Every structure is written in structure tokens, then in C-alpha cells.
Chains A and B, each alone.
Chain A
Amino acid sequence: MLTIGDSQFSSRLFTGTGKFASADQMLAALAASGSQLVTLAMKRLDLKAGFDDILAPIRQSGVKLLPNTSGARNAKEAIFVAELAREVLGTSWVKLEIHPDPKYLMPDPIETFNAAKVLCERGFTVLPYVHADPVLCRNLESVGCAAVMPLGSPIGSNRGLETAAFLKMIIEQANVPVVVDAGIGSPSQAMAAMEMGASAVLVNTAIAASRDPVKMALCFADAVSTGRKAYEAGLAQVHQRAIGTSPQQALTAFLSE
């Protein structure tokens, strides 16, 4: 079981709600994924209009909601959205994402840290989306974030774990769960993140934009589960070359002379 804050999750696959063709398709894919934590953008919710095509069906499905601050360009806007989410959705969980760069949606480390600090002080369970920066992750942990969410590659890029070397450092050092978020494009990439020791992965585009989102959600569920089991079983160490026991020029032979 994975524990984040006060909640436990048996599935280590988290999913998103954007980019689906319809609410029905989204619900079917979420069900197939087995995901128990689902993120949704607060900017998409029309609470005034009263006809909401995203929130109501997710609520019915019983999964835990992780409202996100997507669209926020600075700490002030993100904090505003987090407070709004707590007020209208009744959850203090928030996926903190701040991207002032609309092209690649790269997270702003300074604004994210500042917002995380304020939100943690105000009692939120904060899961910040960040670049795979080990020092930033430690700093976010120290101000009270419940988990960190470093990226594998840019959002929606499906390019996989381009930050692998840094993800390994973060996983090695973290005292909070590490959720690899963004850029995971295929089940094999999700499995690789889990084998590496990630606590969970968050996948949206690769499921929602596939030809068959339900089938793809099943594939991701299998991959995440297998990757986790492999990590727990302990992967054999990788060696650069074969280890010979009787080399031609023995360097330690003198010991027995």
C-alpha cells in the first residue's frame, strides 16, 4: 500500500481527466485503470453554471479527487485556486502546478516553492509538480509537501523518462512518496519508472489520446503493477561487462604466491 498524507492507495497508477472524447469514455478508462486518485483542473469546472460534465461523474465513481492548479502562472493564482478547490470540493489535497511558460508548460520552481510553503502552512496536502530537481524536491519536502511529482519529460510529450538520472537521485533521497508525473507515453515507460522505485506514476495524455483509452488504461495498470513487483523483488544488478573469475592477467595472484 502506498500512503500519501492521511490516505492509502492500493493502485500506484494515478490518472487525469483532461483530453478525453467524452465523459463516458473518461469514466470507462478511469475504471479500467483501477486508479484511486484522479486529478482534475479547477479551471475547467464551471461551478456557477451548475451543469458540470466532469465533476459529477467522477464523484459518482468514488475515486479520490486531486484538484490541480493548471493554468496558474504564479504562486498567487495557484493559492487562489487551491483555496477555491478546498471551499467547493471539500478537499485540502492539491496538485500544485505553476507554469508561466505556455509552450512547454515547464514548472516554475520559485513560484512553486513559494506557493507550497504557504499552502502547507494553511493545512493543505500539497503534491507539487516540479522539474526533476533533487534539491528542489528536498526543499519542498522540508516545507511539508506530502509527496513530490517530478516530471519524466514535458507534459503531454510521451517522451518517457528523459530525466531518469535525476529521478533516481530524487527517489534515493526522498522521505516522501515520489510520483513521476508528465511525459510517460507508454506502459513500458511507466514500468521503468516503477522499477526505478517511484512510488507511483501519473498518466493522462497517453491514455486519453490513444485510440482505445480503456484498453490503454488496462495496459498501464498492468505495467505499473508489474514494475512495482519487480522493484520489490529486487532487480539484479546491471554490470557493464562480464565478471571473469580467472582473467588472463591476474592482478591478485601475488597474494597466493
Chain B
Amino acid sequence: MSFFDTLSGLSREQLRMALYSTTAAQVEAAIEGEQGNLDHLLAMLSPAAEEYLEPMAQRAAALTRQRFGHNIGLYLPLYLSNLCANECDYCGFTMSNKLKRKVLSHDELAAEMAVIKPQGFDSILLVSGEHETKVGIDYFADILPLVKAEFSHVAMEVQPLSSEHYGILVEKGLDAVMLYQETYDPETYRRHHLRGNKQDYGYRLESPERIAPAGVDKIGLGVLLGLDDWRMDALLMGYHLDYLERRFWRSRYSISLPRLRPCVGGITPKVQLTDKGLVQLICAFRLFNEQLEISLSTRETPSLRDNLLGLGITQMSAGSRTEPGGYVNPAAQLDQFEISDERSAAEVASVLRSRGFTPVWKDWEAGWIGTN
């Protein structure tokens, strides 16, 4: 049974009612309870749990410290292309946006890496818009070895691919795939994805079931917080994580919690997620899953990022540019979304140290290619 079937079998209405009728006693039991319990996750995501943020944060911080120590992994997104054959109303790369479209050539890619590498990064996230014909498997397979020669850990955030194509990329050094469902609500999903392959909700939803068997080490889940009721979306992401961990036990999992940010021509959030809500989300997921990696992007402000550090975050980007060629030419105006934390990698690393964390640049072996 695929996760699509599992999800179809759930009563969203019942879950929603349970979320909004959770009692204080249920929250207390959840915070003290064992990890991995979806009912407990529900309780910790409920409005009732807002009164318990401090005890949740205390426990989340302690669990994170025990599992991950004082380490914070640093990575950087490298935008390969802003070509996109989708029309999505929350994204700056959406097809109808009038902006200069670009795909990095070998030389341009090398130039970007030459700017990134001296900053210390050894973990890179390759990002592209979704353009299957111009920026598809052939392009990825072509450039991966160039990237792998520079970075030990290579992640990708691109369109969903076939299992066979993931397998090809693993052989060329792919270590992780980030693939965000954006929202688990099919109706909301339909309203925001207006044209292109991304309209296929089910294909996207089942992608991790093609990624894991291909031997990809790490799989990243995520929802775009603000598209729908974030409590429901986060809960269903918890169900997704639970489904995957039970079946694909060799994979590591991470989540991202991006809040909807302003972009060129984009929409404003339907449901505003406050800072308090973001804290609740991070703590709830840490208490639900002690091993889960949680990454935090530069969408958030410096002061919020610094304060969220100890609560459960394990990975951060720093000094990001969200347009292809942006590291060589920072003036370009092709951004996917606005970033809030504009500090350089060195500045962020220095803040980490001053707050008692060790910035971790390298945590992987480049030689582990295709042997999993």
C-alpha cells in the first residue's frame, strides 16, 4: 500500500477535530510520552499545546543535545536553473513570471563553486526549477560528477524523478533528495498548482517511495507553511515520515519548515504561521522523532534563527543566494524567494561558536558513491 492509499484512508475531518479538541492532559501525556507516537504528535501540534511551549522546548533542546551534541551542519543551496514548466502561485520561478531564465553551463557552475568552496562548505544542495526537458536527468547526470569533485555531500531539490533516474544519480554521487509536498491537502494543492507536471499531487506524494529504493541516503520532507492549516499539514507530514521510516529503514530523514515568503508576483499566506507556531512545530517534531534532522533556511531572520538554534535545528544554510549564478553575480534579480538572513557563512559560523555550537562543514565521505 502506497502512502497515497494510507493518506486516502485517513479521515482528515476526524484528525482536524482531534487537533482542535485536544485537552491539556493529552498534551502533558504527549510531552512525557515515548517518541514515535502519532497521537502524541497530534497533541503537541494542537492549539492546546501552545500553553506548553516552555516544557516542550526544554525537552526538545535536551533530546537534540543528546543525539546531535553541539553540532550544527552547514550547507548551501546552489541554484542550477530557474527554468520552470509549472505555474505555481507562491513561487518566483513560476512560468508566467517575466524574468531572465537561465541554466548554468559547466563554466558557470565551476565559477559558482569557486566562490562557495573557499567559504568552507562541503555540503551542497543543488536546486532547480522544474523543467523536465531542458533541466532533466541528462543535465543532472552530466553535472553531478563536477559537483561531487568539490563537495562530499550532495543533495538535490528538483522535480520528482523515476526510481531508475534516481538510481543513475546515486551512482554519480547523489546523497540526498529534498522533495517537498508543499501541502498534503489535495484541494489546496490543486488551487496553487495551476499548470505543469507539478499538478500531479499523487506522483509527488509517492516520490519518496521511488527515492528510497534507489539507495538515496537521505530524504527530505517539507510543507510550505501558510498554504493551508499548518497544524494539519505538519501532522500529515508526520504520518508520511512514520510511513517511510517503517518501510525504508535504511534512509535518513530530514524535514524543512519553510514559511511562505513574499516573492515576485506571489500570493500572501492564507494561514499565517507565527514565530510561536514555528517553535511549536520544531519542538513537536523533535519530541516525535529524536533522530530527525531539521533544517532551517535563510528565509528566517537572523535573530529568530539564532534563537531557534538550540531547540532542535540540526542543519542551516548561510549566505544563500536563491538565483542561478547568484554567487558570482549577487546583483541579479532572479530570486526564487526573498531571503531574510543575509549574513555571510563566516558570520553565521561565528555566531554559532559564540552560542556554544560547533559549525560542522564536513560530515560525509565523498568516496561513498553508489555502494549503499
Interface residues of B in 145-159 (CB under 8 A from A): 152
Size category of the binding interface on chain A: 35 or more
Q: Which among A44-52, A132-140, A143-151, A230-238 touches the partner chain?
A: A44-52
Size category of the binding interface on chain B: 20 to 34
Do residues B357 and A21 form an inter-chain contact, with CB atoms below 8 A? yes
Contacts of A157 in B (CB 8 A): 66
- Nearest residue, chain A, Cβ from B153: A43
Secondary structure class of chain B's binding surface, majority of residues: loop
Instruction: Check: A121 CB closer than 8 A to any chain B CB.
Output: no
Contacts of A208 in B (CB 8 A): 69-70
- Nearest residue, chain A, Cβ from B121: A49
Contacts of A241 in B (CB 8 A): none
Instruction: Check: A203 CB closer than 8 A to any chain B CB.
Output: no
The interface centre, meaning the residue of B251, B252, B372 with most chain A CB atoms within 10 A of its CB, is B372
Instruction: Check: B233 CB closer than 8 A to any chain A CB.
Output: no
Do residues B361 and A46 form an inter-chain contact, with CB atoms below 8 A? yes
Q: A21-B70, A76-B371, A77-B371 are in contact. Are A43 and B362 (CB under 8 A)?
A: yes
Interface residues of A in 51-74 (CB under 8 A from B): 51, 53, 71-74
Do residues B250 and A20 form an inter-chain contact, with CB atoms below 8 A? no
Instruction: Check: A22 CB closer than 8 A to any chain B CB.
Output: yes
- Nearest residue, chain B, Cβ from A204: B69
Do residues B368 and A103 form an inter-chain contact, with CB atoms below 8 A? no
Do residues B360 and A44 form an inter-chain contact, with CB atoms below 8 A? yes
Instruction: Check: A42 CB closer than 8 A to any chain B CB.
Output: yes
Instruction: Check: A229 CB closer than 8 A to any chain B CB.
Output: no
Contacts of A209 in B (CB 8 A): 65-66, 69-70
Nearest CB of B to A19, in Å: 2
Instruction: Check: B186 CB closer than 8 A to any chain A CB.
Output: no
Which one, B67, B249, B360, contacts A101 given CB within 8 A?
B249
Q: A22-B358, A76-B371 are in contact. Are A42 and B70 (CB under 8 A)?
A: no
Do residues A84 and B71 form an inter-chain contact, with CB atoms below 8 A? no
Contacts of B372 in A (CB 8 A): 73-74, 77, 100
Instruction: Check: B54 CB closer than 8 A to any chain A CB.
Output: no
Nearest CB of A to B117, in Å: 8
Interface residues of A in 81-131 (CB under 8 A from B): 81, 84, 100-104
Interface residues of A, Cβ cutoff 8 Å to B? 18-23, 41-46, 49, 51, 53, 71-74, 76-77, 80-81, 84, 100-104, 156-158, 205, 208-209
Top 4 nearest A-B pairs (CB, nearest first) are A19-B69, A21-B70, A46-B362, A102-B252
A22-B70, A77-B365 known; 16 other A-B pairs, CB under 8 Å? A18-B69, A19-B68, A20-B69, A41-B363, A42-B365, A49-B361, A71-B363, A73-B250, A102-B252, A102-B291, A103-B245, A103-B249, A156-B66, A205-B66, A205-B69, A208-B69
